[in-house]
Amino acid sequence: MWKRIASLSPLVSSSKSTLPNQASYGLNIWKSLSTGICTPVRYGNLLKEKTPFITFVLGGPGSGKGTQCIKIAQTFGFTHLSAGDLLRREILSNSEDGTMILNTIKEGKIVPSEVTVKLIKKEMESSENYKFLIDGFPRSEENRIAFERIIGAEPNVVLFFDCPEEEMVKRVLNRNEGRVDDNIDTIKKRLKVFSSLNLPVIGYYSKRGKLRTINAVGTVDEIFEQVRAVFTECEAMK
């Protein structure tokens, strides 16, 4: 679905609309609508398809964003794409990229932007949905720029799960999921990297009017009530 909208050419060529320069017209709609906070993005009468509604979900490891994404997907019909899960799946594939990703994660570093965006893009292209939660990405300005360049769109909403470092460390160590990055040394490296690189991304989207900060301390349901308010606002504007 994504690929059909992004390229436009197969659909435009088969349309019987008399609008001049339909491809240019459609792309201009993409650019003007995809940057609006909580704005329902659609092609109107030109094509009976909706352009992607993208939500970035940011927060340190253990901030609870993954759990909240599951509830958002179930409640509001989003497709949940976890950057971390996609990377771990690539590791298990034993591909060349998978080996590189594993070594990078062990060192507490961020995987090259193009690699992660490529995995995200592949999942978006194969989905029939138009609403996406991009969980755990972008984590740096380089990530952000690469996503917008390769995907060709900005997020509509950016959720930031704000959680104290000591709480995140406790949660990660207690979840006991057997992940390669769930140990005290690696988690401290990841938190340091997250703090140094993520703040510019958060600041950028705050200036763009897209940022929604969630207090990530409390029960799952208490935190979700804050999240629900954000998406209820978006639904009300459709």
DSSP structure class, residue 160: E
209 is in an annotated binding site: no
218 is in an annotated binding site: yes
65 is in an annotated binding site: yes
State which H helix or E strand residue 132 sits in.
Answer: strand 131-135
88 is in an annotated binding site: yes
175 is in an annotated binding site: yes
64 is in an annotated binding site: yes
**In the chain, what are the helix, strand and coil shares in percent, each to the nearest 5?**
55, 10, 30
Planar angle of CA 173, 103, 105, nearest 5 degrees: 35
143 is in an annotated binding site: yes
112 is in an annotated binding site: no
179 is in an annotated binding site: yes
What the block records as the tokens of 18 is 């008399």
What the block records as the tokens of 5 is 């909208």
Sole residue written with tokens 């509509």: 156
DSSP structure class, residue 128: S
Residues 6+ apart with CB under 8 A from 88: 179
4 is in an annotated binding site: no
62 is in an annotated binding site: yes
67 is in an annotated binding site: yes
137 is in an annotated binding site: yes
- Binding-site residues, in ranges, read 62-67, 88, 109-111, 136-139, 143, 175, 179, 190, 218
- Binding-site residues for CMP, in ranges, read 143
- Binding-site residues for a ribonucleoside 5'-phosphate, in ranges, read 88, 109-111, 136-139, 179, 190
- Binding-site residues for ATP, in ranges, read 62-67, 175, 218
